[in-house]
Structure 1
Amino acid sequence: MFSYVFMVANLVQLCLVPLGGLLLDKGGLRVAKLVSICLMFAGTMMFGFTSGSTSNMLFAAMVLVAVSSNIGLVCNQQASSLFPKYRGLIVALISGSYDSCTVVTFIASRTFPRISFKVTFVVLACCAIVCGLFEALFLLTQYSSGMAKLAADQDVLEGDGLEEDVTEKTSVEKVEKEVMDEDRSGMGGESVDQKVQEVIVSRYPTLKSCFRSYPFLLGTLWFTFGQVRFSYFLAQISGLLEDSFPGDSSLVDKLLEDLTIFTICGIAMGVIVGAILDACRNAERRRLASLINNPGKQTSDDQIYSIYLRALAPPVTLMACCSLILSCILFVRGKQAVFYVAFFFFLVFRSLLFSTTATLVISSFPIQSFGLVYGVINLIGGAISTVQYGLLELNITTSHIICVVVSALTFIPPIILFVKAGQRKKKCYSQGEF
């Protein structure tokens, strides 16, 4: 039953993300966060008071918690705007922490076995209210654009606080010199980011222009393919283990518990994935710095944007590789070690899937459109991922073959990113801009 509860909740929360995104863009971060914690409180309390006779309440509880978690995740991801140079790391850490939160119930069940689930969920509900209120009132700004402005103001304050005895003019000159030195070193820092933001604003003056862009299409494609693979793996894992080890329920339970332990490592994997995202992004920023700062050469906005987007191509390619390996390795049955390898690649795949999608929307579209653009991508992915209902009715071998095909299709978006950036780079070479 829980497999269907998970599938329904996952589908509903994906379909409702656009409403959460609209709430975020129009109502603001604080309003969205307050709505999120109210839904979380209600859902968690329903979990705590569900019994055998009221098991259907699990559907409502799971939906409320799932929707609130997604709205909360979108709000928390705005924290990456405070650290633009480490945006990939922040997004991946926040995404990974949602996996690692399973450590709470895991430790509680092992350390305090006599405490009932009802008490555990009541405590979690109260903690959600307290932490959510603190974040909404003291950490988040009213709107998403305010987070970026806060980061800029903080940079100015840090620059002014370098030396107390220097004049304001000297402080400003020192900050400007540091930026120029960073540009010369190849990172391109502030000047590159400002130029890219100018390009983004000019390319997407309206919300409609965001939805009609090729980055939106590519992001939707890889998220949809990845969501099908992600959801189906979690929905089928119990049945797959029972099919691989018939009659050995103790081993099945042990492997399911080990999967929980693997997901606890999500925040650690987030550090690695975030480092990969930032490394790729910084590499492209260095290339853009040499391109933008080349005197006497005109560079089109299209060239800058295509090269900037290429930073996401290597992580998405790695995600597709993990998905393909995961799909292929599950053809092997009856081998316990195979499932540990599958758990590892699933962990990497999951972290890359959500981190790359969020990073694409945050960094490639206007910040004021983040909520709705991200929500529509989730809506499309959630709607198409309903094919997993049909996959559950097929035999395991056939469903695995379909998953291999889906994983192979995930390579299409990064290939397009590489090709488009390569075309722009070749054009730059022909113009002598590199």
Structure 2
Amino acid sequence: MPLRLLALLALQGPVSREEAADLLWNGTTRQALQSLRTALSTLRTALQGAPEVLEGTGAILSVNRQFLRVDVLEQPTGGELLSWWRGPLLAGRACRGTDRWMDWRQMTETRLLEEHLVALFRAAAQSESGQAEALVRRAAELSRTYGGLSLMPAVRGEERAELLGRAQELAALRCARQSVHVQGPRGSGRSSLVRVAFPEAVWFRTDALTGRPDPVWAAHAVDAGRAVFDDVEDLPEWVWPLVRYLEGRGCHVILVSTGPLPPQWHDLPVVRVGPVETETLVRLAATLAPAWPAAELPVLMVLTSGFPGRAARLLRSGGATLSALLRGRLAQFGEDALRLLWVSGDSPAEVDRLCLQCGLDREALGRAVTALTDAGLWVDGRAAHPLVSEVAGELLPWWTRQTLPLIATTHEVRIR
């Protein structure tokens, strides 16, 4: 018990006598405080060679960490991270005790190990390829060993991946006491964030755009207390009176968009969703594509602009190499988009020239550009990376690969 008391003070910081007694001992408050006094006496005797470690003689107990080495609070770097975690917290002293003590020990171990996992992923994001892969493997090994811990936040569904690195945004949403505007590029994880923050919310169905509000849906939204309108820039004008009606009935609305809202909604608090840190994408890759080499992380950052939603969709496409991942991802696009990627060169081309090079009209070209831009595969008028063009060309039918260069060459001859 004295050792548990020492661990409590070292890992949690100053605590009151009543709090320590209640955590460590069963029985009445008087009995628990008596047991605490006995444990303190034993601890002082054991520390008589270092009396400056134990502090607090009044209602608050604490230790002076300047005179005490607390190994689990150290912050190792580099290769030290691979062997730093040596087993369960207080191994050999985890059993028997109050339920409150068992909960505290489990909670503290989880917190410390999660912090260590973050350190492993941060180091992997900053290390060379060989060391990075070893750090990611160590993180996955620890996550498997401690079954209650996960490389992902404890949420359900496909939103888990996009939610990585969104702690601040999630906290801002959950604290919202009114309607709110969630703004960010497609692929940044906006919708996933809202689903996790407000699982009880009712979502406006885009397949129900009949030109007039659905009274049954509106009543359901009012009962739930929250309604979500996703991609509001693509919704018809008649939706805005519906939004105002719901607000008037006390229903909080969450408006999700890529850009600003109409002027009458500018007073809503805004939660902005953007890129995440490199370490988050390392963690994402380790979770969704464990066989994927960490050495290719820089290309993942280029292809996704740091957006976890885009990265998740790419990594879920499967494959142990970036080419394989891109092949699976690009296979989801139509031939128009593949044509556009294949002909994109080193410098952006004008719309007219792209139409002729791809054998497309303006409308088809516009749809392809929009789809590829939202996916992060088309940036500043060309493919986001040369490998994207290469893989797109491999996916095109043989006949298309033969005819597209001929179309472009014939056009140049006519101009001359």
TM-score, normalisation: structure 1: 0.20
Larger radius of gyration: 2
Higher-strand-fraction structure: 2
Higher-helix-fraction structure: 1
